[in-house]
């Protein structure tokens, strides 16, 4: 009998070999326990449930920006993950983002174990509401895990029972995107059908006492994301129900459900020159789980980001590194205040290396010799540029000078981690008071917020032909920061480009938005191989600056279509070939690997 020791059937090592700090299971002799004990005591079962969500947010934070065209890592010449990304053409065995496959399936197995065995619960000190909430958590996190699986690999195996170690696996088949998307939405609908009681901590609620607790709003976000991804060019298969119209309908339902429960864009002006404007103030605003002020955040994400230290300025006491540096490509995407793009969005550059910008002939405010004037307010709240004020409370007290030789000047030193590589630093999330002396007062990232839902709906509406509605929802996001509404009469192609650019601006350095977007749109051949910076030279005699774009060279083959999806781990592929083969020839089995790998 063939056996497969892969990630579908790993034993619960974390549960049965060494007890957790909360003593999930009390070890019997030799450090082993009978798993049936899980169902005999409330503490055992509740602690198991507490592990269900472990690892669901695989891609939190914004370091993914430097794996896209948003940023260049300061350690781009030092061996490590970023250096490899820029210089190595990976294979399935060496690809640096393949680790999630194992984590996903380990967590899915834990969930299957819980849902198929919870009928064995023999204690009575638990209410029906709490039992139901345990189920909701299991189904919710299963949906979130499968969404990540679909997003990264495009396909996977849907299973709801725990595989036995002696399973032949000859009948196991990969499920396609439509099947996985259906399963995700089915799981989320189970959650949304559950009891809701805002007075009980043990029901699936719209508001929660914790900034990062799963809630009904985020269930709608995952439904909407799932439908939009499944309709996107990378994932859509001919004949699938996940057309753009279908995705539009689900996203519209999601936005309407959120509106009905009081969600709206954050519109509070900063106090005491706390920030430049409402946009960066939102990203600095502290946790507000009650939604008394912040009605935009749907799901928070962890603690403060320590931007001042790990992604900071060399003028800040205690800075450890400047981390990742915004690219010139990102800077180029910020419009001028009249609502005109800087570049022609259809063809932004005249050369492959992005050294020859193709300026928008209708833009009359942009001056290449004064490039940072009159820009979208989000630019000033997101990026430190040459001449940027360090302190909003006293703009003239200290300026960030990124010109060669400036106090934050660009560095050509390969091992320097303190000075920018591109001519820019990340300002988003960074409160200018944060420092070694003042402590960390920086902002927090968000897993989901209402602006995303508006732009998701706008994209689906545009692709489905509802152009006016697409323009209206995009304009809501723009108007929040004082940018003009999109012009009337845009064609579908023109509107598509404007919406995509809007996502780039609004979600800069937020999670994996840009990394994901260029893949699901299948445009990595245009975006991922070349990024540039801005070298600025100051003429001391005239105090004028000369601006010169420069290239970081080619990021090795990152525009190749194989990088649209992650490869499945090679050992998994070989095992499944062997175990799905109808003969003794392993090559006769199913090849699960993604194209190009």
pLDDT in tens, 447-466: 999 999 999 999 999 999 99
| Lookup: tokens for 300 | 């928070």
- Whether residue 26 lies inside any domain: the answer is yes
Residue 345 pLDDT more than 60? Answer: yes
For residue 7, the model assigns a pLDDT of 33
C-alpha 357/C-alpha 252 separation (Å) is 37
Question: DSSP assignment, residue 38?
Answer: G
| Phi and psi at residue 112, to the nearest 5° | -60, -40
| Lookup: tokens for 364 | 């009359």
Q: What mean pLDDT is predicted for residues 562-574? A: 93
Q: pLDDT confidence of 3, banded at 50, 70, 90?
A: very low
Give ∠ CA 111-114-119 in degrees, rounded to 5: 150
C-alpha 81/C-alpha 85 separation (Å) is 6
- Whether residue 194 lies inside any domain: the answer is yes
C-alpha 217/C-alpha 591 separation (Å) is 38
C-alpha 512/C-alpha 82 separation (Å) is 15
For residue 588, the model assigns a pLDDT of 83
Residue 213 pLDDT more than 60? Answer: yes
Q: Compute how many other C-beta atoms are within 10 angstroms of the C-beta atom of residue 215.
A: 22
- Whether residue 233 lies inside any domain: the answer is no
User: Which of 22-31, 175-184, 322-331, 476-485 is least confident?
Assistant: 22-31
Q: Give the domain range for residue 15.
A: 1-67+98-205+567-597
Residue 514 pLDDT more than 60? Answer: yes
Q: pLDDT confidence of 151, banded at 50, 70, 90?
A: very high
Q: What mean pLDDT is predicted for residues 30-38? A: 65
- Whether residue 388 lies inside any domain: the answer is no
Q: What is the dihedral of CA 265, 271, 277, 280, to 10 degrees?
A: -70
Q: Compute how many other C-beta atoms are within 10 angstroms of the C-beta atom of residue 592.
A: 21
Question: Does 286 or 21 have the greater pLDDT score?
Answer: 286
Give which of 504, 459, 569, 559 is closest to 149, Cα–Cα: 569
| Phi and psi at residue 399, to the nearest 5° | -110, 150
For residue 18, the model assigns a pLDDT of 29
User: Which of 257-261, 310-314, 441-445, 494-498 is least confident?
Assistant: 441-445
For residue 75, the model assigns a pLDDT of 95
Residue 148 pLDDT more than 90? Answer: yes
- Whether residue 197 lies inside any domain: the answer is yes
Give which of 296, 306, 313, 324 is closest to 514, Cα–Cα: 324
- Whether residue 336 lies inside any domain: the answer is no
Residue 197 pLDDT more than 70? Answer: yes
Q: What mean pLDDT is predicted for residues 300-323? A: 94
C-alpha 109/C-alpha 113 separation (Å) is 6
Summarize pLDDT for 529-547 with one digit per residue, the tens.
Answer: 999 999 999 999 999 999 9
Residue 507 pLDDT more than 60? Answer: yes
Percent of the chain's residues with pLDDT above 70? 93
How do strand 530-539 and strand 544-554 relate by DSSP bridges?
antiparallel
Residues in the chain: 597
C-alpha 457/C-alpha 253 separation (Å) is 10
Question: Does 526 or 213 have the greater pLDDT score?
Answer: 526
C-alpha 223/C-alpha 156 separation (Å) is 18
Q: Cβ(523)–Cβ(75) under 8 Å?
A: no
Q: pLDDT confidence of 315, banded at 50, 70, 90?
A: very high
Q: pLDDT confidence of 25, banded at 50, 70, 90?
A: very low
Give which of 109, 134, 107 is closest to 119, Cα–Cα: 134
Q: What is the dihedral of CA 97, 156, 523, 93, to 10 degrees?
A: 30
Residue 399 pLDDT more than 60? Answer: yes
For residue 8, the model assigns a pLDDT of 38
Residue 12 pLDDT more than 60? Answer: no
Task: Report, in this order, helix, strand and coil percent for the chain, each rounded to 5.
Answer: 40, 10, 55
Question: DSSP assignment, residue 19?
Answer: -
Q: pLDDT confidence of 1, banded at 50, 70, 90?
A: very low
Percent of the chain's residues with pLDDT above 90? 77
For residue 201, the model assigns a pLDDT of 82
Question: Does 289 or 422 have the greater pLDDT score?
Answer: 422
C-alpha 69/C-alpha 354 separation (Å) is 11
The mean pLDDT value of the chain amounts to: 90
- What CATH number is associated with residue 182? 1.25.40.890
Counted domains in the chain? 1
For residue 150, the model assigns a pLDDT of 96
> Could you give the C-alpha distances from 445 to 129, 141, 174, in angstroms and in order?
31, 20, 34
Q: Quote the strand ranges of 380-525, DSSP E.
A: 383-384, 388-389, 399-400, 425-426, 445-449
For residue 585, the model assigns a pLDDT of 84
C-alpha 456/C-alpha 251 separation (Å) is 7
User: Which of 32-46, 163-177, 214-228, 302-316 is least confident?
Assistant: 163-177
- Whether residue 311 lies inside any domain: the answer is no
- Whether residue 522 lies inside any domain: the answer is no
Give which of 372, 378, 380, 409 is closest to 535, Cα–Cα: 409
Secondary structure of 58-124 in HEC code, one letter for each residue: CCCCCHHHHHCCCEEECCCCCCCHHHHHHHCCCCCCCCCCCCHHHHHHHHHHHHHHHHHHHHHCCCC
C-alpha 539/C-alpha 407 separation (Å) is 16
């Amino acid at each position: 009998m063939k056996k497969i020791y892969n990630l579908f059937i790993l034993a619960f090592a974390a549960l049965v070999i060494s007890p957790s700090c909360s003593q999930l299971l009390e070890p019997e002799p030799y450090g082993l326990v009978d798993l049936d004990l899980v169902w005999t005591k409330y503490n055992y079962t509740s602690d198991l449930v507490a592990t269900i969500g472990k690892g669901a947010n695989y891609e939190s934070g914004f370091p993914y920006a430097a794996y896209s065209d948003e940023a260049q890592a300061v350690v781009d010449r030092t061996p490590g993950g970023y250096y490899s990304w820029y210089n190595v053409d990976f294979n399935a065995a060496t690809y640096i983002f393949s680790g999630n496959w194992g984590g996903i399936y380990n967590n899915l197995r834990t969930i299957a174990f819980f849902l198929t065995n919870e009928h064995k619960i023999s204690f009575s000190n638990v209410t029906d509401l709490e039992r139901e909430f345990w189920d909701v958590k299991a189904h919710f996190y299963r949906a979130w895990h499968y969404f990540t699986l679909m997003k990264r690999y495009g396909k996977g195996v849907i299973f709801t029972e725990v595989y036995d170690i002696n399973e032949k696996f000859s009948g196991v088949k990969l499920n396609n995107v439509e099947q996985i998307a259906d399963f995700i939405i089915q799981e989320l609908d189970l959650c949304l059908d559950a009891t809701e009681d805002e007075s009980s901590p043990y029901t699936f609620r719209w508001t929660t006492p914790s900034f990062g607790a799963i809630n009904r709003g985020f269930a709608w976000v995952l439904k909407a994301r799932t439908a939009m991804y499944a309709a996107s060019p990378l994932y859509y298969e001919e004949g699938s129900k996940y057309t753009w119209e279908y995705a539009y309908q689900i996203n519209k339902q999601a936005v309407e459900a959120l509106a009905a429960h009081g969600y709206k864009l954050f519109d509070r002006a900063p106090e005491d020159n706390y920030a430049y404007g409402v946009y960066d103030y939102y990203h600095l605003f502290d946790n507000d789980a009650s939604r008394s002020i912040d009605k935009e955040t749907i799901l928070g994400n962890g603690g403060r980001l320590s931007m001042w230290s790990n992604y900071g300025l060399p003028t800040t006491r205690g800075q450890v590194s400047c981390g990742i540096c915004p690219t010139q490509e990102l800077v180029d995407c910020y419009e001028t205040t009249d609502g005109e793009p800087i570049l022609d969005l259809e063809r932004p550059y005249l050369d492959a290396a992005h050294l020859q910008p193709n300026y928008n002939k209708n833009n009359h405010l942009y001056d290449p010799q004064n490039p940072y004037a009159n820009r979208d307010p989000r630019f000033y709240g997101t990026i430190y540029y040459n001449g940027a004020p360090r302190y909003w409370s006293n703009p003239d007290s200290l300026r960030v000078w990124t010109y060669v030789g400036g106090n934050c000047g660009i560095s050509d030193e390969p091992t320097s981690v303190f000075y920018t590589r591109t001519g820019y630093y990340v300002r988003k999330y960074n409160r200018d008071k944060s420092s070694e002396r003042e402590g960390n007062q920086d902002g927090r990232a968000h897993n989901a917020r209402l602006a995303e839902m508006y732009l998701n709906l706008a994209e689906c509406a545009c692709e489905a032909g509802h152009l006016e509605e697409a323009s209206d929802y995009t304009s809501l996001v723009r108007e929040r920061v004082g940018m003009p509404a999109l012009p009337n009469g845009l064609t579908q192609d023109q509107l598509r480009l404007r919406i995509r650019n809007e996502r780039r601006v609004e979600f800069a350095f937020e999670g994996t938005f840009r990394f994901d977007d260029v893949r699901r749109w299948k445009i990595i051949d245009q975006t991922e191989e070349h990024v540039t910076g801005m070298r600025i030279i100051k003429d001391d005699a005239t105090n004028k600056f000369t601006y010169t774009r420069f290239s970081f060279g080619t990021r090795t083959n990152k525009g190749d279509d194989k990088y649209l999806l992650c490869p499945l781990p090679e050992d998994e592929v070989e095992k499944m070939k062997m175990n799905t083969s109808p003969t003794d020839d392993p090559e006769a089995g199913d090849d699960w690997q993604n194209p190009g790998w």
